[in-house]
Protein backbone atom coordinates (compact mmCIF):
# COMPACT_ATOMS: atom_id res chain seq x y z
CA UNK A 1 0.00 0.00 0.00
CA UNK A 2 1.41 3.38 -0.96
CA UNK A 3 1.71 6.04 1.68
CA UNK A 4 -1.15 8.48 1.71
CA UNK A 5 0.92 11.33 0.29
CA UNK A 6 1.89 9.21 -2.69
CA UNK A 7 -1.32 7.33 -3.49
CA UNK A 8 -1.73 8.78 -6.98
CA UNK A 9 1.69 7.36 -7.83
CA UNK A 10 0.27 3.87 -7.33
CA UNK A 11 -1.69 4.37 -10.58
CA UNK A 12 1.53 4.22 -12.57
CA UNK A 13 2.81 6.75 -15.07
CA UNK A 14 2.17 7.78 -18.64
CA UNK A 15 4.31 9.91 -20.93
CA UNK A 16 2.00 12.50 -22.44
CA UNK A 17 3.28 13.48 -25.86
CA UNK A 18 6.44 11.52 -25.14
CA UNK A 19 7.91 14.19 -22.85
CA UNK A 20 5.50 14.90 -19.96
CA UNK A 21 5.46 12.11 -17.39
CA UNK A 22 2.32 12.15 -15.25
CA UNK A 23 0.65 9.86 -12.74
CA UNK A 24 -2.18 8.16 -14.59
CA UNK A 25 -4.85 9.01 -12.02
CA UNK A 26 -5.54 12.71 -12.36
CA UNK A 27 -8.15 15.23 -11.25
CA UNK A 28 -10.98 16.74 -13.29
CA UNK A 29 -11.71 20.30 -12.22
CA UNK A 30 -15.23 20.62 -13.62
CA UNK A 31 -17.06 20.05 -10.32
CA UNK A 32 -15.35 22.84 -8.42
CA UNK A 33 -17.71 25.34 -10.07
CA UNK A 34 -21.38 26.14 -9.36
CA UNK A 35 -24.40 23.98 -10.08
CA UNK A 36 -24.79 23.17 -13.77
CA UNK A 37 -21.05 23.92 -14.14
CA UNK A 38 -22.14 27.55 -14.00
CA UNK A 39 -20.84 30.36 -11.82
CA UNK A 40 -18.92 30.29 -8.56
CA UNK A 41 -18.91 27.26 -6.24
CA UNK A 42 -20.92 27.47 -3.04
CA UNK A 43 -17.69 27.35 -1.06
CA UNK A 44 -14.67 28.65 -2.99
CA UNK A 45 -12.27 27.96 -0.11
CA UNK A 46 -13.26 24.30 -0.03
CA UNK A 47 -12.75 24.12 -3.79
CA UNK A 48 -9.21 25.41 -3.30
CA UNK A 49 -8.62 22.93 -0.49
CA UNK A 50 -9.63 20.10 -2.83
CA UNK A 51 -7.11 21.28 -5.43
CA UNK A 52 -4.32 21.58 -2.87
CA UNK A 53 -5.14 18.19 -1.37
CA UNK A 54 -5.06 16.59 -4.82
CA UNK A 55 -1.48 17.79 -5.28
CA UNK A 56 -0.57 16.60 -1.76
CA UNK A 57 -1.84 13.14 -2.73
CA UNK A 58 0.51 13.00 -5.68
CA UNK A 59 -1.90 14.08 -8.42
CA UNK A 60 0.16 15.90 -11.03
CA UNK A 61 -2.35 16.00 -13.90
CA UNK A 62 -5.30 18.39 -13.61
CA UNK A 63 -7.85 18.73 -16.41
CA UNK A 64 -10.01 21.83 -16.77
CA UNK A 65 -11.62 24.00 -19.48
CA UNK A 66 -12.40 27.64 -20.09
CA UNK A 67 -16.08 26.68 -20.28
CA UNK A 68 -16.18 25.39 -16.68
CA UNK A 69 -17.89 28.26 -14.93
CA UNK A 70 -17.14 29.65 -17.50
CA UNK A 71 -13.64 30.80 -16.47
CA UNK A 72 -14.18 29.89 -12.80
CA UNK A 73 -12.32 26.57 -12.76
CA UNK A 74 -9.18 27.94 -14.40
CA UNK A 75 -9.12 30.94 -12.09
CA UNK A 76 -9.53 28.82 -8.94
CA UNK A 77 -6.70 26.51 -10.04
CA UNK A 78 -4.37 29.50 -10.28
CA UNK A 79 -5.58 30.96 -6.98
CA UNK A 80 -5.05 27.65 -5.20
CA UNK A 81 -1.86 26.35 -6.75
CA UNK A 82 0.16 29.15 -8.37
CA UNK A 83 3.16 29.16 -8.37
CA UNK A 84 2.77 25.59 -9.59
CA UNK A 85 4.88 22.58 -8.58
CA UNK A 86 7.42 21.80 -11.31
CA UNK A 87 5.87 18.44 -12.19
CA UNK A 88 2.25 19.63 -12.33
CA UNK A 89 0.65 19.34 -15.78
CA UNK A 90 -2.49 21.42 -16.32
CA UNK A 91 -4.62 20.55 -19.32
CA UNK A 92 -7.39 22.86 -20.48
CA UNK A 93 -9.90 22.97 -23.31
CA UNK A 94 -11.52 25.55 -25.57
CA UNK A 95 -14.23 25.62 -28.20
CA UNK A 96 -17.44 25.44 -26.18
CA UNK A 97 -19.47 28.55 -25.38
CA UNK A 98 -21.91 28.80 -22.49
CA UNK A 99 -25.48 30.09 -22.53
CA UNK A 100 -26.43 29.11 -18.99
CA UNK A 101 -26.32 26.21 -16.51
CA UNK A 102 -25.76 22.89 -18.34
CA UNK A 103 -25.90 24.65 -21.72
CA UNK A 104 -23.02 24.24 -24.16
CA UNK A 105 -22.58 25.28 -27.80
CA UNK A 106 -19.46 24.51 -29.89
CA UNK A 107 -17.75 27.36 -31.72
CA UNK A 108 -14.68 26.39 -33.73
CA UNK A 109 -13.93 29.61 -35.58
CA UNK A 110 -10.16 30.23 -35.60
CA UNK A 111 -10.37 33.73 -34.14
CA UNK A 112 -12.51 32.47 -31.26
CA UNK A 113 -10.17 29.56 -30.49
CA UNK A 114 -7.20 31.93 -30.50
CA UNK A 115 -9.01 34.05 -27.93
CA UNK A 116 -9.73 30.90 -25.87
CA UNK A 117 -6.03 30.07 -25.72
CA UNK A 118 -4.92 33.61 -24.91
CA UNK A 119 -7.45 33.96 -22.09
CA UNK A 120 -6.64 30.52 -20.64
CA UNK A 121 -2.97 31.50 -20.54
CA UNK A 122 -3.89 34.64 -18.63
CA UNK A 123 -6.24 32.96 -16.13
CA UNK A 124 -3.89 30.05 -15.44
CA UNK A 125 -0.92 32.44 -15.19
CA UNK A 126 1.26 30.38 -17.50
CA UNK A 127 3.28 31.20 -20.60
CA UNK A 128 2.54 27.85 -22.23
CA UNK A 129 -0.38 25.43 -21.90
CA UNK A 130 0.94 21.89 -21.42
CA UNK A 131 -2.08 20.26 -23.09
CA UNK A 132 -4.73 22.24 -24.94
CA UNK A 133 -7.75 20.27 -26.16
CA UNK A 134 -10.43 21.14 -28.67
CA UNK A 135 -13.55 20.71 -26.54
CA UNK A 136 -15.72 19.75 -29.51
CA UNK A 137 -15.38 19.76 -33.27
CA UNK A 138 -17.69 22.43 -34.66
CA UNK A 139 -19.73 20.95 -37.53
CA UNK A 140 -19.91 24.42 -39.09
CA UNK A 141 -16.14 24.85 -39.31
CA UNK A 142 -13.68 22.48 -41.04
CA UNK A 143 -11.42 20.98 -38.39
CA UNK A 144 -8.44 21.97 -40.52
CA UNK A 145 -9.39 25.62 -39.98
CA UNK A 146 -10.03 25.19 -36.26
CA UNK A 147 -6.71 23.43 -35.69
CA UNK A 148 -4.78 25.62 -38.12
CA UNK A 149 -4.72 28.50 -35.66
CA UNK A 150 -3.84 26.09 -32.83
CA UNK A 151 -0.86 24.89 -34.87
CA UNK A 152 0.30 28.50 -35.20
CA UNK A 153 -0.05 29.06 -31.44
CA UNK A 154 1.90 25.87 -30.86
CA UNK A 155 4.68 27.19 -33.12
CA UNK A 156 4.68 30.39 -31.06
CA UNK A 157 5.32 28.34 -27.94
CA UNK A 158 1.96 29.05 -26.31
CA UNK A 159 0.81 25.41 -26.49
CA UNK A 160 2.98 22.36 -25.83
CA UNK A 161 0.65 19.51 -26.86
CA UNK A 162 -2.80 19.25 -28.46
CA UNK A 163 -5.68 16.84 -27.80
CA UNK A 164 -9.26 16.30 -28.95
CA UNK A 165 -12.53 15.58 -27.15
CA UNK A 166 -15.54 13.46 -28.17
CA UNK A 167 -14.10 12.19 -31.45
CA UNK A 168 -13.82 8.93 -33.35
CA UNK A 169 -10.69 7.36 -34.85
CA UNK A 170 -11.31 8.84 -38.31
CA UNK A 171 -11.56 12.34 -36.83
CA UNK A 172 -8.31 11.82 -34.92
CA UNK A 173 -6.56 10.81 -38.15
CA UNK A 174 -8.00 13.81 -39.97
CA UNK A 175 -6.71 16.11 -37.24
CA UNK A 176 -3.30 14.41 -37.25
CA UNK A 177 -2.83 15.69 -40.81
CA UNK A 178 -2.84 19.23 -39.41
CA UNK A 179 -0.74 18.75 -36.26
CA UNK A 180 0.26 16.00 -33.80
CA UNK A 181 -2.53 14.81 -31.48
CA UNK A 182 -1.36 13.32 -28.18
CA UNK A 183 -4.63 12.68 -26.32
CA UNK A 184 -8.34 11.99 -26.65
CA UNK A 185 -11.00 12.81 -24.08
CA UNK A 186 -14.28 10.91 -24.57
CA UNK A 187 -17.08 9.82 -22.28
CA UNK A 188 -16.22 6.31 -21.15
CA UNK A 189 -16.64 3.99 -18.18
CA UNK A 190 -17.29 0.35 -17.38
CA UNK A 191 -21.00 0.74 -18.11
CA UNK A 192 -20.62 2.97 -21.19
CA UNK A 193 -18.10 1.51 -23.61
CA UNK A 194 -19.42 2.97 -26.87
CA UNK A 195 -15.95 4.41 -27.55
CA UNK A 196 -14.13 1.09 -27.19
CA UNK A 197 -12.74 1.42 -30.72
CA UNK A 198 -11.25 4.80 -29.82
CA UNK A 199 -9.67 3.28 -26.70
CA UNK A 200 -8.14 0.57 -28.88
CA UNK A 201 -6.87 3.19 -31.34
CA UNK A 202 -5.38 5.30 -28.53
CA UNK A 203 -3.74 2.24 -26.98
CA UNK A 204 -2.21 1.19 -30.30
CA UNK A 205 -0.87 4.67 -31.05
CA UNK A 206 0.07 5.52 -27.44
CA UNK A 207 -2.31 8.47 -27.20
CA UNK A 208 -3.50 9.37 -23.73
CA UNK A 209 -7.18 8.41 -23.35
CA UNK A 210 -8.89 10.68 -20.80
CA UNK A 211 -12.30 9.22 -19.88
CA UNK A 212 -14.76 11.80 -18.65
CA UNK A 213 -17.65 10.56 -16.52
CA UNK A 214 -15.29 7.72 -15.47
CA UNK A 215 -17.43 6.19 -12.73
CA UNK A 216 -20.02 3.63 -13.84
CA UNK A 217 -23.57 4.59 -12.95
CA UNK A 218 -27.17 3.50 -13.50
CA UNK A 219 -28.13 -0.17 -13.41
CA UNK A 220 -24.53 -1.33 -13.24
CA UNK A 221 -23.86 0.50 -9.98
CA UNK A 222 -27.20 -0.23 -8.29
CA UNK A 223 -27.25 -1.65 -4.76
CA UNK A 224 -26.92 -5.41 -4.94
CA UNK A 225 -25.83 -5.28 -8.58
CA UNK A 226 -22.67 -6.94 -9.94
CA UNK A 227 -20.39 -3.95 -9.42
CA UNK A 228 -21.74 -3.29 -5.94
CA UNK A 229 -21.31 -6.95 -4.98
CA UNK A 230 -17.74 -7.05 -6.29
CA UNK A 231 -16.90 -3.82 -4.48
CA UNK A 232 -18.23 -5.21 -1.19
CA UNK A 233 -16.16 -8.37 -1.59
CA UNK A 234 -13.01 -6.30 -1.90
CA UNK A 235 -13.89 -3.73 0.75
CA UNK A 236 -13.97 -0.81 -1.67
CA UNK A 237 -16.62 1.47 -3.14
CA UNK A 238 -18.26 1.18 -6.55
CA UNK A 239 -16.49 4.40 -7.57
CA UNK A 240 -13.11 3.01 -6.55
CA UNK A 241 -13.73 -0.22 -8.44
CA UNK A 242 -14.83 1.74 -11.53
CA UNK A 243 -11.65 3.80 -11.52
CA UNK A 244 -9.43 0.80 -10.82
CA UNK A 245 -10.98 -1.00 -13.80
CA UNK A 246 -10.12 1.90 -16.09
CA UNK A 247 -6.50 1.82 -14.94
CA UNK A 248 -6.45 -1.94 -15.55
CA UNK A 249 -8.17 -1.78 -18.94
CA UNK A 250 -5.48 0.11 -20.89
CA UNK A 251 -2.01 1.49 -20.11
CA UNK A 252 -2.92 4.77 -21.84
CA UNK A 253 -6.03 5.34 -19.69
CA UNK A 254 -5.89 8.59 -17.67
CA UNK A 255 -8.98 8.79 -15.43
CA UNK A 256 -9.78 12.27 -14.10
CA UNK A 257 -12.49 11.82 -11.43
CA UNK A 258 -13.75 15.17 -10.21
CA UNK A 259 -15.31 16.25 -6.95
CA UNK A 260 -15.87 19.28 -4.74
CA UNK A 261 -15.22 17.27 -1.55
CA UNK A 262 -11.84 16.54 0.07
CA UNK A 263 -13.05 13.21 1.51
CA UNK A 264 -14.44 12.14 -1.86
CA UNK A 265 -11.16 13.15 -3.51
CA UNK A 266 -9.21 10.97 -1.06
CA UNK A 267 -11.55 8.06 -1.77
CA UNK A 268 -11.04 8.47 -5.52
CA UNK A 269 -7.26 8.65 -5.26
CA UNK A 270 -7.21 5.53 -3.08
CA UNK A 271 -8.61 3.59 -6.06
CA UNK A 272 -5.06 3.55 -7.44
CA UNK A 273 -4.29 0.87 -4.82
CA UNK A 274 -7.17 -1.45 -5.76
CA UNK A 275 -5.86 -4.68 -7.24
CA UNK A 276 -7.94 -7.55 -8.68
CA UNK A 277 -6.91 -10.62 -10.61
CA UNK A 278 -7.39 -10.84 -14.38
CA UNK A 279 -10.12 -13.44 -13.78
CA UNK A 280 -11.99 -11.11 -11.42
CA UNK A 281 -11.83 -8.24 -13.88
CA UNK A 282 -13.08 -10.50 -16.66
CA UNK A 283 -16.05 -11.59 -14.53
CA UNK A 284 -16.92 -7.95 -13.77
CA UNK A 285 -16.73 -7.05 -17.47
CA UNK A 286 -18.99 -9.97 -18.37
CA UNK A 287 -21.53 -8.93 -15.74
CA UNK A 288 -21.39 -5.34 -17.00
CA UNK A 289 -22.06 -6.48 -20.57
CA UNK A 290 -25.31 -8.11 -19.44
CA UNK A 291 -26.74 -4.90 -17.97
pLDDT tens for 71-99 read 999 999 999 999 999 999 999 999 999 99
Q: Which domain holds residue 119?
A: 4-215+248-260
H or E element: which one contains 264? Answer: helix 262-270
Instruction: Give me the CATH number covering residue 255.
Output: 3.20.20.100
Question: Would 91 be classed as within a structural domain?
Answer: yes
Hey, what's the torsion of the CAs at 153, 114, 102, 289, to 10 degrees?
-30
* Dihedral pair phi/psi, residue 91, rounded to 5°: -105, 140
In the predicted model, is pLDDT for residue 43 greater than 50? Answer: yes
Residue 270 lies in a domain: no
Catalytic site includes residue 84 = no
Q: Report the alpha-carbon distance of residue 17 to residue 47 in Å, rounded.
A: 29
pLDDT of residue 274: 93
The pLDDT tens digits for 131-188 are 999 999 999 999 999 999 999 999 999 999 999 999 999 999 999 999 999 999 999 9
pLDDT-derived band at 4, boundaries 50, 70, 90:
very low
pLDDT of residue 288: 81
**pLDDT one-digit tens code per residue, 99-123:** 999 999 999 999 999 999 999 999 9
Contact 216, 228 (CB under 8 A): no
Residue 52 lies in a domain: yes
Marked catalytic residue, from 68, 82, 188, 201? 68
Spell 176-213 as b/e; 16+ CB within 10 A means b: eebbebbbbbbebbbbbeebeebbebbeeeebbbbbbe
CA distance 233 to 127: 48
Q: Is residue 225 one of the residues assigned to a domain?
A: no
Question: Over pLDDT 70: what percentage of the chain?
Answer: 97
Q: How far is CA 43 from CA 76, 257, 262, in A?
A: 11, 19, 12
Asked if residue 233 belongs to a domain, the reply is: no
Q: Answer yes or no: is 280 within a domain.
A: no
Residue 140 lies in a domain: yes
Does 221 map to a domain? no
Cα-based angle 78, 134, 8 (whole degrees, multiple of 5):
50
Residues 209 and 196: their CA atoms lie apart, in Å, by 11
**Residue 5: its pLDDT value, please?**
45
| Cβ pair 43, 73 in contact under 8 A | no
Number of separate domains in the chain = 1
What counts of helices (H) and strands (E) characterise the chain? 10, 11
| pLDDT at residue 228, as a whole number | 86
Confidence band, pLDDT 50/70/90 cuts, at residue 226? confident
Query: In the predicted model, what is the mean pLDDT of residues 210-238?
Result: 85
Amino acid sequence: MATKALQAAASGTFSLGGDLTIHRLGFGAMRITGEGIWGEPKDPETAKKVLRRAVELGVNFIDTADAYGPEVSERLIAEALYPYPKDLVIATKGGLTRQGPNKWLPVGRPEYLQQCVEMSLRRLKVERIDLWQLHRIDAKVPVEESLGVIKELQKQGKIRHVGLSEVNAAEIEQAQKVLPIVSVQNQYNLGDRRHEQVVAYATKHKLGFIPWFPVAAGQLARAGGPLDSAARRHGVTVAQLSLAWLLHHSPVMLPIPGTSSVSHLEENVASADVQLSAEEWKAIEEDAAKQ
